[in-house]
Chains A and B, each alone.
Chain A
Amino acid sequence: MRTGNNKRLAFYLEMLRIRVIEEELVRYYAEQEMRCPVHFCIGQEAVPVGVCQALGGADTIMSNHRSHGHYLARGGDLRRMVAELYGRETGCASGKGGSMHLIDRSVNFLGATSIVADTIPIAVGVAFANKLRRRKSVSVVFFGDGATEEGLFYESLNFAALHRLPVFFVCENNLYSVYSPLNVRQPASRNIYKVARSLGVESSRVNGNDVEAVNRASASALRGIRRGRGPYLLEAMTYRYLEHCGPNCDIELGYRAKEELEQWKKADPVAAYERKLIRESVISKDYALKARNRIIKEVGEAVRYAKSSAYPEADRLMMDVYAQ
């Protein structure tokens, strides 16, 4: 089925927005005012956009340490995200959590956390609550290839399959866990999406740099989940351009080949899509440039908003440990 032009434009603008926001944040990071570890998602934008464009407003999201794309694609507030990175009271976690712990109930974003795989069973629990309460929403959880090596992955898929829970597991396979490639972590013959099948969870693999493919696969998975067919796992193959954590490229460290990075960049999810839409006259070069500049301006405003926001006062320290 061909994706309509309105949809394609939305995909493009959303991916471009995440890309430019991340690039701009990399630039601002050098000022050393954003004092928190940041895991940028440059190169991986098609997955959150493809998935989130298939969701409804009541669907819930859980994310991981590389959370910006998930939060933004879900409709999170850029100003509150940037303020969070700057540790300000106006941040979406009130300046308490930073980049790795974005959380925002207003968009049903139950949060990112820094412990790999930990959010998977929580998302399953949310799905259980939804099912018991006869709510139609689907619980979506994003995690990486590394998370599938944790025991919780198995515990969670097993539980979800057993009770046919409305969970959409999205595995962003970017081939690396910090510095360790898949081949030192999993047997070469392993396919993550097939592991899911063996646990009783329907699954498929998709080119995670092809936003339309991700969106089609997600929409189809979500239809099944909403019809009560139980959970689904989508393995999206993608690649991160920058270091695991921080604003730099770390290709000189040698744990991955320069050629590999170049190869992936040729299939860049944003640039390749932009070229395609220009070629097919959906947008013009000028449109793309203007869109980019608009986003740069939007980030500038968000950064100004963050910098002019107050830090949390000392009396906030002991708030929200327990109910008051």
Chain B
Amino acid sequence: MANLNMVQAINSALREEMRRDGDVIVIGEDVGADGGVFRATEGLLHEFGAERVMDTPLAESGIAGAAVGMAAYGLKPVAEIQFMGFIYPAVDQIFSHAARIRSRSRGRFTCPLVIRTPYGAGIKAPELHSESTEAMFCHMQGIKVVVPSGPYNAKGLLISAIRDPDPVIFLESTRLYRSVKEEVPEGEYEIPLGQARIVREGTEVTLIAWGGMLRKAIEASEGFDAEVIDMMTLTPIDEEAIYRSVKKTGRVVIVHEAPKTCGFGAELSASIAEYAMLHLKSPIFRVTGYDTVMPLPKLEDYYVPSADRIRRAIEEAMKY
């Protein structure tokens, strides 16, 4: 066990998998000599050499496309996109090819690829450096979307993502990179994709959050008999875990920092309404970012859901 922050945990996961499996390679802008802008790949070039840890040209779409070809012919690339806002040029390749090669070839070609990218607000970077557009990727079938909420599950989830036979978008909350430390086992361990976890058990209200919002939800849950669910994987969605909790509590508050309209909370709300309607004691509440572009530093504090805003939503649900 070591006390690691999330950057170190991610680095440890990459190192473990690269040692275990010669097909795993790391590519991206600046991932080599300096270990990436957030240092998640630090030291990998030294240990594994330039063939397996490669600084790429400034070409996100080309990186994603090349990664698809590498994956189809036997490698397991882990590509880093510097910020989530920089992934948009690569979306064409991710949606049109990474997500579809399996279906298009009826499973004869596959795309075991991980694309890691920092997401979300919290480090006072402006728009395009604080994006939280996970729902867009959840809408595209054929890829999985994974969002760790801390160092321990970041390592286990990333190892599972690298071993997964399908493409995974791995979203790393920038606010979590260095702000928390946890005990992280040395060596390899997997946390299965597609499974949510109950962080805290409760009976009166279910709080659903992921990534950078989980700790806010836990903070807000103090003083309530609240069950807190950490989604960890957004797609494939762990419906069972959600329905089981909602049937117990009858109240739901969903927290995400992405804008409200068509955010992943909308999908969760609709599914809960569809399958657990008669168990509900109040409307489903969503505490989210606003339907606007991520603002510069001061306004960021208003934009991102605070423990206070979550608490008010819980109270509303309770008194309904």
B72 on the interface (CB 8 Å rule)?
Answer: yes
Give chain A residues whose Cβ lies under 8 Å from the Cβ of B107.
319-320, 323
Closest partner residue, chain A, to B67 (CB atom): A125
Cβ B69 vs Cβ A125 within 8 A = yes
Which of A93, A94, A120, A126 has its CB near the most chain B CB atoms (within 10 A)? A126
A7 on the interface (CB 8 Å rule)?
Answer: no
Cβ B75 vs Cβ A159 within 8 A = no
Give 1 or 0 for each of B43-63: 1 = CB within 8 Å of chain A CB. 000000001100011010110
Number of interface residues of A (CB under 8 A): 39
B104: contacting residue among A103, A123, A129, CB under 8 A: A103
Bound-state CA distance A322–B67 (Å) is: 18
Cβ B104 vs Cβ A156 within 8 A = no
Bound-state CA distance A323–B51 (Å) is: 29
Closest partner residue, chain B, to A127 (CB atom): B69
Chain A's nearest CB lies how many Å from the CB of B258?
A: 24
- Among A38-46, A105-113, A289-297, the stretch in contact with B: A105-113
Give 1 or 0 for each of A239-254: 1 = CB within 8 Å of chain B CB. 0000000000000000
Which of B68, B75, B104, B236 has its CB near the most chain A CB atoms (within 10 A)? B104
| With known contacts A158-B59, A321-B141, A129–B75 Cβ distance under 8 A | yes
A322: contacting residue among B73, B109, B142, CB under 8 A: B142
Cβ A159 vs Cβ B105 within 8 A = no
Give chain A residues whose Cβ lies under 8 Å from the Cβ of B96.
113, 115, 118
Residues 165 to 198 of chain B near chain A (Cβ within 8 Å): 165-166
Which of B59, B62, B96 has its CB near the most chain A CB atoms (within 10 A)? B62
Bound-state CA distance A127–B25 (Å) is: 15
Cβ A159 vs Cβ B104 within 8 A = no
A282 on the interface (CB 8 Å rule)?
Answer: no
A93: contacting residue among B64, B70, B104, B110, CB under 8 A: B104
Give chain B residues whose Cβ lies under 8 Å from the Cβ of A66.
none
Chain B's nearest CB lies how many Å from the CB of A308?
A: 21
Cβ B69 vs Cβ A139 within 8 A = yes
A323: contacting residue among B52, B64, B102, CB under 8 A: B102
A122 on the interface (CB 8 Å rule)?
Answer: yes
A96: contacting residue among B67, B104, B142, B165, CB under 8 A: B104
Give 1 or 0 for each of B66-105: 1 = CB within 8 Å of chain A CB. 1111111111000000000000010011001100011111
Number of interface residues of B (CB under 8 A): 42
Cβ A105 vs Cβ B109 within 8 A = yes
Cβ A122 vs Cβ B109 within 8 A = no
Chain B's nearest CB lies how many Å from the CB of A254?
A: 33
Cβ B74 vs Cβ A129 within 8 A = yes
| With known contacts A321-B102, A323-B166, A130–B73 Cβ distance under 8 A | yes
Cβ B109 vs Cβ A103 within 8 A = yes
Residues 146 to 165 of chain A near chain B (Cβ within 8 Å): 151-152, 155-156, 158-159, 162
Give chain B residues whose Cβ lies under 8 Å from the Cβ of A158.
57, 59, 62
Bound-state CA distance A159–B59 (Å) is: 9
A159: contacting residue among B57, B103, B141, CB under 8 A: B57
Bound-state CA distance A322–B106 (Å) is: 10
| With known contacts A103-B109, A132-B75, A320-B106, A125–B61 Cβ distance under 8 A | no
Q: List 24 A-B contacts (CB under 8 A).
A: A60-B73, A93-B104, A96-B103, A105-B108, A110-B73, A110-B109, A111-B104, A118-B97, A121-B61, A121-B62, A124-B62, A124-B65, A125-B68, A127-B69, A129-B69, A130-B73, A151-B61, A152-B61, A152-B65, A155-B61, A159-B56, A319-B107, A322-B102, A323-B107
**Other A-B pairs, 5, CB within 8 Å; known A120-B65, A129-B75, A139-B69:** A94-B106, A115-B96, A126-B72, A129-B73, A162-B57
Q: Which residues of B contact A (CB under 8 A)?
A: 25, 51-52, 56-57, 59, 61-62, 64-75, 89, 92-93, 96-97, 101-110, 141-142, 144, 164-166, 236
- By Cβ-Cβ distance, the 9 closest A-B pairs, closest first, are A125-B69, A121-B65, A155-B62, A125-B66, A155-B59, A122-B69, A129-B73, A126-B69, A323-B165
